[in-house]
Every structure is written in structure tokens, then in C-alpha cells.
Structure 1
Amino acid sequence: MLETAPLLGRDRASSEEGENGSSGPYILLEPATTWRTETWIMISDTVPLVLTYLLQYFYSLVVVLVVAHMGEDELAGVSLGVTTMNIIGLAIFEGMATSLDTLCGQAFGSGNRKAVGLHVQRMVMLLLLVACPIGLLWLCSPWILARMIPQPQLAVVGGTFLRTSLVGVPGYVVFEAGKRFLQCQGNFTASLAVLLVCTPVNLVLNWVLVFKLDLGVMGSALAAALSNNVRAVLLIFYTAFHLPETHQCWPGLLPKTIFQNWMPMIKLAVPGAVMVVGEWFAFELLSFSAAYIRTSGSGSASSAPLAAQAILATCSVLVWHIPFSGSVVASTRIGHFIGKGSVHAAKAMTQFYAAFFSGIALFDIILAFAVGTLIAPFSTAGPSSEVRDLVLQTLPLSQSSKSPTRLSVALTASCVDWVVKPLAAGLHFSSTTPSEFLWHWCSPLVLRCLGW
């Protein structure tokens, strides 16, 4: 089986061996593309992908909203659990899976269709292998969290959430890889359709397990975990029976071949994981910091700031998925250009992406303020009004309107970040770790010294 495809193809006639051993000539031509065409492609592909990621994250949002009505301790404990799960788990899986945007996109663009399915099978096995040590950490999380935060009761709640969530890891892994299998072929709606079906299933499971069976935090975590497994099964069946055109990229199960030649995938997966984990950890670390905040009139750490941080983090992650989805579409598009040998077209797209992501960044900033303002009044009730007040006070709407410099800095950084990543991924250079370190870790120290 031919797996390799040149990173920089040739703009002339080429003959390439197919996966079934047959060969046939095809022409690698420089495609004619315009900003208008690329704008339509980006919007038409990004919108369903944004909805896909938002629905996928909707499970965590449901957990936060359901647990918020149990009490401040439950909300704060689940916040720690979700934070740990995101950093040591989901962010790693999602970051490693981004390597498929490059590998599958280039394989599909070069005409090596069967290699797409082979890359997906290898990624599933790699993610399941990585999930083993992560699962051990989740099992030991009550003892680990107890040594990191001053409230032992919150460590118990967070550990319970993590242990129960372990049930849904296989489904999450398969869904992430399967989603990339379809996206590289230009299908961005199949995963959305599956999530539209699974979302009411998740709501019903929460209602039954939390409110009817009174399982509390464990019930909410179990509902999300079972939903992860259900959506993976539905995606497999949907692809097998309703998307026959995608079968050209499936070589069948290859139990021997999938454990060979992992290094190209690992070289892309590791930087991708570091990139995504670095971004998530930069703001998820605030959840652990909030556990040490003492409110006025209290000599000990309160759970109210941590509960408020859970709501703020949820809003941040919701709007973060918009530019991330656009980056996935852009990297897949560039991967197709590179696979076809259209290097000049890929380079020309950088100017377009700079303008496109500038608009996304501005929209994202406005949406973050709007979402936080809307969700705060409905997230807590009764004695948790302190949490609602903290959320509304923390939203930096008034500061940003009085300081256009801060807004421009955030806008510029977002543009550079999301333009560089898809281009680097398409060129097999996904290691943007230095930029992640400078922006997410060094810049806060500099801004703090400037009095920001």
C-alpha cells in the first residue's frame, strides 16, 4: 500500500499508484481561486463546523447548568473536574487529532484516498494508547486534587466527576478521528447531524440520572459520558449506510499496518497536543487560582469565586471554538492545495486568511461579552446570587470600551494566531509552541508590569 505523498507536489502530469495496485495518470494543476470563492468556502464549511464544536461542548455546558442548581460546592467541584478533564484529557485528544487535518487533507488532495482511512485508524489506536495513563490520573484524581486546593470537599466532587467521565473516553476518541475522516473529504455536516440527534439524548439522560434517579454529580457526568459513546456509534453507522461516497477513503480494517510507520503522525500529533493544551491551560489555570480567592468578610477561601470562574470559563470556551473551527477548515484547505502541488495558491491564501480571521476575532470579542451577560442570570439561583454578581463584575465590557488599546491588542494577537496555525499545519509544521508560550505565558507578565 502506498502511503507517502510528496509535501510539495509537481505542477505537471503525474502517475501515481492507487491503493488497489492500479495506476493511472492525472494532472496536478494550479487551481484558479479568488477571495470571493474562498470566502464562500470558509463560511459554508466553518458554520456547520462551529455548530458541531458548540454542540459537542454543549455537554459540558449542560453539566455546569445542571450542577449549578445543586449548590455552590457542587458547581465549584465540577468546575475543577471539568478543568482537569479538559487539560489532562480532552485537550490532548483534540490537539493530537488536529494532525489528521494535515495528513488526511494532503492524502486526499494528492489522490492517495485509501491512506486517509489508514491515518484515521492509526490515530484512534494512538489516542487509545495515550488514554491509558490519562485514565489512571483520573482514577487517582480525588487524592491529587486534594493536594492542590484548600477545600477537600471540592476535591471529592471533582474526583467523582472525573472517574465517572472515564466511561466516555473511547467514544470521544472515535468521534474526533471519525469527524476528521469526513472533514478532509469536504463533509462538514455529518458530525453536525449526529450531534443534533445526540443533544436531546444527553438532555434526557441528565433528566433521568440527575433528577429522577437522584445520582447528583455522578449522574450528570455519566450522562455526558454515555452521550459520547452514543455519538461515536451513530457517526459510524451514518457513515457506513448513508455516505457511500466516503467509502473510497476506507481501506478496511488493517490490524497489522496500523501499528507501523507512526513517526510522521507522532511528529504532528505531539506539537498539536502541546498547542491546544497550552491554550486551554492558560485560562483553565484560573479555576485553580480562583479556589484560593477569599471574598470580603470571609477569612477562608470561598467556593463562590470558583463557581463564578466555572461560568466565565464556559463562556470563553464557547466563543473559542469559532476561530478554532475556522482554523480547521483553513488547514484542511491548505492541505488540499499542498497535496495537489498548488504551493503558490496556498501562499496566496495567507492574505485572505488574515482578513477573514480579523473579522472573526472582532466578532468573537463582542460575542464573549454578550454570552457572559446572558448566561450569568440563569446559571445560579437563591443563595448563589453572589456568584451571579461576580460574573457580571468580572466581564471586562466597560474596561474594553474605555481602552481601545486593549481591544486592538487582543484583536491583533487573535488574527496572527489563527492565520499562522492553519498555514503551519498545512505545511507539516504544526509546532507553534514558541508563539503559544510568548502569547499565553509571557504576555500576561508584561501586561501586568504595564499596569494592565
Structure 2
Amino acid sequence: MNSATAEPLLNNENHRVEENVKAVSVVREFGEESKRLWRIAGPAIMTAIFQYSLGAITQTFAGLVSEIDLAAVSIENSVIAGFSYGVMLGMGSALETLCGQAFGAGQLRMLGVYMQRSWVILLTTACIIVPVYVFSTPILELVGETTEISEAAGKFALWMLPQLFAYAMNFPIQKFLQAQRKVLVITWVSGIVLVLHVFFSWLLILKLGWGLTGAAIVLNGSWWLVIIGQLLYIFITKSDGAWTGFTWLAFADLWGFVKLSLASAVMLCLEFWYLMVLILITGRLPNSLIAVDAVSVCLNIQGWDAMIAIGFNAAISVRVSNELGAGKPREAKLAVMVVSVTSITIGIVCMAVVLATKDYWPYLFTSSDAVAEETTKIAVLLAVTVALNSLQPVLSGVAVGAGWQHIVAYINIGCYYIVGLPAGILLGFTLGLGVMGLWGGMLGGICLQTLILIVITSITNWNKEAAAAETRVKEWGGAIADQ
């Protein structure tokens, strides 16, 4: 073989070797990033499941007592507590951007000050929300709930006021720890509290027959135990220097912090409130008690599945904010790709599980055949929702990590309230499809929102986002650094 013939063959062989090396490199990078994500996402998923289970288990025990107790706890969890949960989680998520990027930039002391500022803002907000709990009965009647359900839910809401202030304390603590990747601490605390919660729920609600009173005592107590456990860890360990004690700096630059917190709150609240609106509208359907209970059971299942997505939401928020804060845009982009592939795969598996067990899982939440039958009818739409919700919260986590909260807020308004809600009312009431129609409208809104977030994430210039993160850390940390 002459040199003229051998040279192209040698070039082709070298090209194949280079492609194989690149492929191996991509696979290795994917695997390494996947490990980093799972180290955060695994404990975050377990934490989300444990903390969500507190309300879900209370709802389950209430359903074993009576249909009206189930409806009362469901309405309070989904509407009243759901409203405050969305506000507090949303406002607290400002810390995901600020703490995550500050940690990536090595500015540890800023984290403790940020958490205290968030406490000030969230506790003030909790005081403003108190009248919603106090006047929940007339509010629920005003939006169309039956008097029986409204009175039961309103009484339970009054007893759940301590949980409102627990939310205000808990979410800043969690974002503070998550930004430092100290997620195992939250998981252990939440897991231990959950075990206690199950025992005392059985004891007070069923064994002693305290009903809704026992449910309120146990649920409030469990949330405050979570907070106490986390605070003890922070105060004792000093969180590697991120906690340096209480400081008056917590009251500095509050207005700027409020604006970022409000943007975060609007972004997440629009999603949480849509579910609240869904269950309220369901109460206006014929045979409302059965319809509300069926939707509540489906939302419960969706909530359990959403804990996986919330875990990845926390993980990708930490990864993106940390890498952007450290000035590493390529690593941030890789993290987004890895978490998207992983969450979609898990979503498909969860969808299959929901479809395969649709005749059985309703009886985990109710002893009523009528409620179980209505729930099974919605199972197909629920399965599709579960698949979509595997990716959508993850993309929202990318937005939080990068600081795009205000953009996603506008997207949520359009998708949920301009498209999803009118479509659900049209299908559910005008076309007479009932619960199926209402859920179908929500599904359409989620579909549209997910597609828009995919497009935005795909065209993002990560170099610009890294530069913006550097500017944000300098701007927000100036006063603290001066001290």
C-alpha cells in the first residue's frame, strides 16, 4: 500500500479514535454530573416525601374517620395551607438564587445574613396572612364551597395557625442548608419526625378518637419539631462558618430583598394557587362532596410523585446557582442536560405505575366506593400529568438557580390562568365533562408551560448568566463584606 492510499485511511482511523475519545469523555462527564446531582437530589427527594407525608398522612387518617373529615383536611391542606405554603415557599426560594450563588463564589458569611433577612420578611408575611385562616369559613363559602365543608375546613384552619409560622421559619432554613449541599441533615430530621407523626396521628385521631382536634395537634407539632431539629444543627455546628450568629444586618437592604422574594413568590404561587382554584371549582360540580374527595385523592397522588421532581428541582437549583456563582457556565449547562434526561426517565416510569395500579390506590385514601370509582376515572389524565410534572418543576429549578423568577411568573400567568383555567371551565361545565374536563384544562396549561420553559432553557447563553451571577453576588454582598 503506497503512502497516498495509506494517508486517508490513517486520517479516517484517527478521526474515529477522536470521536470515540469524545464519546467516552461525554459519557464520563454525564456520569460524574449525575453523581453530583443524585448526592443532592436523593436526600432532597426523601426530605420532600417525608415533609409532604406529614399532611398526606393526616389526610389519610382523617379519611378513615369520615367523608366530611377528609373533605375538611383536604380543603385546608389544598386551599388554606396551600395558599400560605405557596407564598412562603415562593418567597423563601429567593435564597436559592442568592445563597447558591454566594456559596459558589465562596462568600459563606453572606448565607447566614440572607437567611435572617428571609425570616424577617416571611414572618411579617405570615402575620399578614393570618386573616385568611381566621375568616376561612366565609371565604370558602364565598367561592362556592358548601356550608358543611366550609365550616369543617374553617374550624380546622383556625387550629392550623401554628403551621403557618412554621412555614415562615422552615423554608429559609432549608434553602440555607441546601445551598451548602447539607441536605442529609434535613432528611434525617424530617424522617425522624415523620415516624413520630405516624404514631401520634394513629394515637390521637383513631385510638383516642380526637378527630380533627388530634390531627391539628399532631400536624402542628411535627412541623415545629422539624424546625427545632434543623436549628439545633445550625447553632451547634455553625454550618462551617455560614452561621455567625444573629446580626442587625438582617434588617439592612430589606426592600431589595423583598422585591426578589416577591418575584419568587409570584412564580411559585401561580402554580400552587392553580391547584387551589381547581379544587374550589370542583366544589361547584354536582355531588360536590364526592367530586372534591376524588380530586383531593388524585392531587395527593400527584403530590407524592411531585416530591421526586421537587428533589431534582432543589438539586438543579443548587447545581446551577453554585456553578454560575463560581463562574463555570459549561458545568451549569451540563447539569441542566443531565437532570432533564434523568427526570424524564423517572416520569415515564411513574406514569406507568399510576396506570397499572389505578384500580387499587384510591382505596389507600378512602373507604368510599363512590369516591374510589370517580378517582379511577381521572387516572389516565393523572398519569399524563405525572409524566409532565417530572420535567416542569426541574426547569423551574433552573430558573430559580439562574435568577429568572420574574420571567417564569409571566409564563405561569399565561399558561395557567389565560389558557388552563378557561379551558378547564369550558370542558368541565359548558361541555359537561365534570372533573375530567377541569383536570384536562389544567393538563393543557402544564403542557404549554413545559414547552415554553424547554425553549427558554435551550436558547440560554450560559456565559452571560455566569457574568450576571458575579454581578449579583457583588451587589448583594457589598454591605456584608464591609462589615
- TM-score when normalising by structure 1: 0.81
Assess, with a 3 A threshold, how the Cα gap between structure 1 residues 279 and 119 changes in structure 2: closer, same or farther.
same
Matched, 1:249 2:242: yes
Matched, 1:378 2:371: no
Matched, 1:437 2:413: yes
Show CA shifts across 1:399-424 (max 9, x none).
97xxxxxx5x9857864x34543333
Matched, 1:291 2:283: yes
Is the CA contact 2:144–2:280 (under 8 Å) kept in the aligned structure 1? yes
Structure 1 gaps of 5+ residues are 1-32, 295-300, 401-406
1:210-249 matched pairs, under 5 angstroms: 210-241=205-236, 244=237, 246-249=239-242
Is the CA contact 1:268–1:429 (under 8 Å) kept in the aligned structure 2? no
* Inter-partner Cα distance in structure 1 for 2:64 and 2:342: 40
Matched, 1:38 2:38: no
Is the CA contact 1:312–1:372 (under 8 Å) kept in the aligned structure 2? no
- 1:267 Cα deviation from its structure 2 partner: 3.0
Assess, with a 3 A threshold, how the Cα gap between structure 1 residues 168 and 100 changes in structure 2: closer, same or farther.
same
Structure 2: which amino acid aligns with 1:422? Answer: G
Who is 2:271 aligned against? 279
Which of 347-356 and 144-153 deviates more?
A: 347-356
Assess, with a 3 A threshold, how the Cα gap between structure 1 residues 139 and 277 changes in structure 2: closer, same or farther.
same
* Inter-partner Cα distance in structure 1 for 2:54 and 2:397: 27
Which of 140-149 and 89-98 deviates more?
A: 140-149
Is the CA contact 1:315–1:371 (under 8 Å) kept in the aligned structure 2? no
Who is 1:391 aligned against? 375
* Inter-partner Cα distance in structure 2 for 1:69 and 1:161: 17
Matched, 1:346 2:322: no
- 1:97 Cα deviation from its structure 2 partner: 1.3
Show CA shifts across 1:311-368 (max 9, x none).
1111111112221221211111111112112234324444334323332432443355
Structure 1: which amino acid aligns with 2:239? Answer: T
Matched, 1:56 2:48: no
* Inter-partner Cα distance in structure 1 for 2:278 and 2:61: 22
- 1:146 Cα deviation from its structure 2 partner: 2.3
Matched, 1:425 2:400: yes
Who is 1:268 aligned against? 260
1:42-191 matched pairs, under 5 angstroms: 42-191=37-186
Is the CA contact 1:168–1:227 (under 8 Å) kept in the aligned structure 2? no
- 1:156 Cα deviation from its structure 2 partner: 0.9
Who is 1:337 aligned against? 323
* Inter-partner Cα distance in structure 2 for 1:140 and 1:121: 30
Is the CA contact 2:102–2:325 (under 8 Å) kept in the aligned structure 1? yes
Structure 2 gaps of 5+ residues are 1-27, 432-436, 441-483
Matched, 1:357 2:352: no
* Inter-partner Cα distance in structure 2 for 1:86 and 1:137: 10
Who is 1:4 aligned against? none
* Inter-partner Cα distance in structure 1 for 2:72 and 2:240: 44
Structure 2: which amino acid aligns with 1:343? Answer: P
* Inter-partner Cα distance in structure 1 for 2:362 and 2:228: 35
- TM-score when normalising by structure 2: 0.76
Assess, with a 3 A threshold, how the Cα gap between structure 1 residues 355 and 203 changes in structure 2: closer, same or farther.
closer
* Inter-partner Cα distance in structure 2 for 1:214 and 1:247: 46
Who is 1:7 aligned against? none
Is the CA contact 1:146–1:155 (under 8 Å) kept in the aligned structure 2? yes
Who is 2:311 aligned against? 325
> Helix, strand or coil: the match of 2:244?
coil
* Inter-partner Cα distance in structure 1 for 2:355 and 2:276: 18
Structure 2: which amino acid aligns with 1:395? Answer: A
May I ask how many residue pairs the two structures share in their alignment? 400
Assess, with a 3 A threshold, how the Cα gap between structure 1 residues 124 and 150 changes in structure 2: closer, same or farther.
closer
Is the CA contact 2:51–2:190 (under 8 Å) kept in the aligned structure 1? yes
Is the CA contact 1:168–1:225 (under 8 Å) kept in the aligned structure 2? yes
Is the CA contact 2:141–2:150 (under 8 Å) kept in the aligned structure 1? yes
* Inter-partner Cα distance in structure 2 for 1:61 and 1:411: 21
What is the aligned-residue identity percentage?
A: 20
Is the CA contact 2:316–2:336 (under 8 Å) kept in the aligned structure 1? no
Structure 2: which amino acid aligns with 1:287? Answer: I
- 1:263 Cα deviation from its structure 2 partner: 3.5
- 1:67 Cα deviation from its structure 2 partner: 1.0
Who is 1:19 aligned against? none
Show CA shifts across 1:245-292 (max 9, x none).
7241012101x2111112443233212212222112223322112212
Assess, with a 3 A threshold, how the Cα gap between structure 1 residues 314 and 371 changes in structure 2: closer, same or farther.
farther
The CA RMSD over aligned residues, in Å, is 2.7
Show CA shifts across 1:168-202 (max 9, x none).
23333222222222111111111110011111221
Assess, with a 3 A threshold, how the Cα gap between structure 1 residues 138 and 239 changes in structure 2: closer, same or farther.
same
- 1:119 Cα deviation from its structure 2 partner: 0.5
- 1:227 Cα deviation from its structure 2 partner: 0.8
Which of 258-267 and 324-333 deviates more?
A: 258-267
Is the CA contact 1:87–1:281 (under 8 Å) kept in the aligned structure 2? yes
- 1:209 Cα deviation from its structure 2 partner: 2.8
Assess, with a 3 A threshold, how the Cα gap between structure 1 residues 368 and 236 changes in structure 2: closer, same or farther.
farther
* Inter-partner Cα distance in structure 2 for 1:379 and 1:344: 45
Is the CA contact 1:322–1:364 (under 8 Å) kept in the aligned structure 2? no
